Copies of this chain bind each other. A is one copy, B any other.
Amino acid sequence: MSFNTFGRVFRVTTWGESHGPALGATVDGCPPGVALSEAAIQPWLDRRRPGQSRYTTQRREPDAVEILSGVHEGRTTGTPIQLMIANTDQRSKDYGAIADSFRPGHADLAYFQKYGLRDPRGGGRSSARETAARVAAGGVARAVLAEMVPELQITGYMVQMGAHRTDPARHDEDEIARNPFWCPDAQAAAAWASELDAMRKAGNSVGAVIEVVARGVPAGLGAPVYGKLDADLAAAMMSINAVKGVEIGTGFGAAALTGVENADEISMGAEGPAYGSNHAGGVLGGISTGQDLVVRFAVKPTSSILTPRASITRAGASVDVVTKGRHDPCVGIRAVPVGEAMMACVLLDHLLLHRAQCGEGVRGRIG
């Protein structure tokens, strides 16, 4: 089956292919009366937009979002919001050579085996261009969250490129926007720049790890047991192109801890419960605790590379595939705003779900 919708109350359906006339997102279930305009969404798209540095694809797309429905006189009406982004720089000829071959690491062969046919132009529906629609939808979610939970802040950044990790001791949030890698560690960013230049010249690519943190998340969000906040975040992040792993808080590192180490001790703070550590990453039992919500995901190296890789054609013949065209040497870079957008959508959905069952606000008060 095809399943292009996520969310339960705040629902996002994306559509469109890499090389079709347009792509977009239909956002349903949005609260009414929220100030919204194209100008409010565009900045988020601009952050994901290709061609902004030599480290991302040189495809030139303005990624200008158009709101076709659901907003009247600058406010959401509570009806579906259609967000459309025209494709303007398709170069289908780039893909002529590979229409009959299957690129290793790409969805080409899997789509063909599933559907019996596929749109080979730029990967069709499996292209990372689909993520533009998520970012647009995330812009809507952010506008709502800004009204409902003004203290909420969502910040994404890259903590690993290839084998090189940032040093948390050097993290500086102000640094994130200063380099082309959304890297909070200036020293790491410099090293990555050299590494990525070399990769690009070698016709190769590297993977990355992204961290997205949400601060100011109200306690009590999450729908146990199969709509846990962390389960929904895991699905949301894993659904992003090229993502191969997701972890919450200490994540895989928690396997190596003892129970004594891993217990985030609780004390009574001025504004409610306070925690001595955050191994849990802000979620226990699938429900937010009010601590920082911390999610990390791994992005594999870009599969479109200039180095020939062995593959087969539709007829079953052997072929060496070289993926020309305009590609990101580290697709993880542009995944940063995408991860933030998914976080925003999932949080808003859970905020509305919580309101549905439990009404406004936190129900259980301490003290």
Contacts and interface: CB of A to CB of B under 8 A. Distances in A.
Interface in A300-320: 300-305, 307, 309-312, 314-318
Contacts of A169: none
Interface string A258-286: 11111111111000010010011101111
Contacts of A311: 265-267
Contact of A359 (B111, B230, B300, B355): B355
B115 A262 contact: no
Contact of A245 (B246, B286, B360): B246
Contacts of A69: 15-17, 20, 22-23, 125
Nearest to A313: B366
A304 B263 CA distance: 9
B255 A332 contact: yes
Given A116-B358, A126-B286, 4 more contacts: A1-B357, A113-B363, A230-B238, A245-B251
Contacts of A258: 162, 199, 204-206, 301
A259 B205 contact: yes
Contact of A105 (B1, B238, B262, B356): B262
Given A28-B4, A162-B258, A358 B115 contact: yes
B312 A6 contact: no
A2 B30 contact: yes
A259 B206 contact: yes
A290 B113 CA distance: 10
Contacts of A315: 366-367
A344 B280 CA distance: 28
A214 to B, nearest CB: 16
A17 B78 CA distance: 12
Number of copies of this kind of chain in the complex: 4
A208 interface: yes
A252 B254 contact: no
Contact of A109 (B109, B163, B273): B273
A215 interface: no
Nearest to A304: B259
Given A1-B9, A364-B113, A257 B300 contact: yes
Contacts of A72: 17, 117-119, 124
A104 B263 contact: yes
A262 B300 contact: yes
B238 A231 contact: yes
A343 interface: no
23 contacts: A2-B224, A5-B13, A5-B226, A14-B226, A15-B26, A29-B356, A72-B118, A72-B124, A102-B273, A105-B280, A107-B284, A110-B284, A110-B289, A115-B363, A116-B358, A160-B256, A225-B239, A254-B299, A255-B332, A257-B301, A259-B303, A263-B303, A356-B356
A188 interface: no
Contacts of A302: 259
Contacts of A262: 105, 207, 300-301, 303
A155 interface: no
A220 interface: yes
B310 A265 contact: yes
